[in-house]
């Protein structure tokens, strides 16, 4: 399992499921990973990407502030796997000389990484490769979160122009 550093390539709305989608892209490879996320996490990610703050600390701010108050830092986030249509992630926190790993949802982990300004890594096996085999149907390239036809159809309906235009 090789881990590669990623960047957020876009945030959009899947109009079929009415769910936000965050698209992660590898800095080293020509690969992407879409993850359907909750509205609250999309809001937190969008606010951070846009450089907007809130008048009062939101949940991810509170967690980051608690870590900082204990003398810790969020070192990195890793999106590690996919099991039974659920993605898994780990937060890596350093407090004093103690390394702590916490199980977390990828959406919360991404929001925390943006707030803490730390790197995000993804298990290379989770990515979709676009140019390796253009004849391979999308549903065979992607981790499945539902029936293959449904996932492929949903991806086809997401307008690439909407990426980065998630409204607050």
Q: What is the fold of 3-162?
A: Bifunctional nuclease domain (3.10.690)
Beta strand 3-14 with 19-26: parallel, antiparallel or unpaired? Answer: antiparallel
pLDDT by residue for the chain (168 residues), tens digit each?
699 999 999 898 988 888 999 999 987 888 889 999 999 999 999 999 999 888 998 899 999 999 999 999 999 999 999 998 899 999 999 999 999 999 999 999 999 999 999 999 999 999 875 444 444 433 333 444 444 444 445 555 555 555 445 544
Determine if residue 160 is left, alpha or beta; phi over 0 gives left, psi from -120 to 50 gives alpha, anything else beta: alpha
Give the per-residue pLDDT at 138: 37
d(CA 96, CA 83): 33
Segments making up each domain of the chain, as ranges: 3-162
pTM (2 d.p.): 0.76
Give the per-residue pLDDT at 95: 96
CB-based contacts of 58, cutoff 8 Å, min separation 6: 44, 47
Q: CB–CB of 94/75 below 8 Å? A: yes
Tracing tokens 């830092």 back to the chain, one arrives at 73
């Amino acid at each position: 399992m090789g881990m590669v550093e990623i960047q957020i390539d876009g945030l959009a709305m899947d109009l079929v499921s009415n769910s936000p989608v965050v698209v992660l892209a590898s800095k080293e490879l020509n690969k992407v990973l879409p993850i359907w996320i909750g509205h609250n996490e999309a809001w937190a990610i969008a606010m951070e990407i846009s450089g907007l703050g809130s008048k009062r600390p939101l949940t991810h701010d509170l967690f980051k502030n608690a870590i900082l108050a204990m003398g810790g830092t969020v070192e990195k986030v890793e999106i590690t796997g996919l099991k039974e249509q659920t993605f898994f992630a780990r937060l890596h926190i350093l407090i004093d000389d103690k390394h702590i790993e916490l199980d977390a949802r990828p959406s919360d982990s991404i929001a925390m990484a943006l707030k803490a300004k730390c790197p995000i890594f993804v298990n290379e096996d989770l990515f979709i490769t676009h140019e390796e085999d253009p004849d391979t149907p999308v549903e065979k390239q992607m981790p499945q979160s539902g029936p293959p036809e449904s996932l492929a159809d949903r991806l086809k309906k997401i307008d690439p122009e909407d990426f980065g235009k998630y409204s607050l």
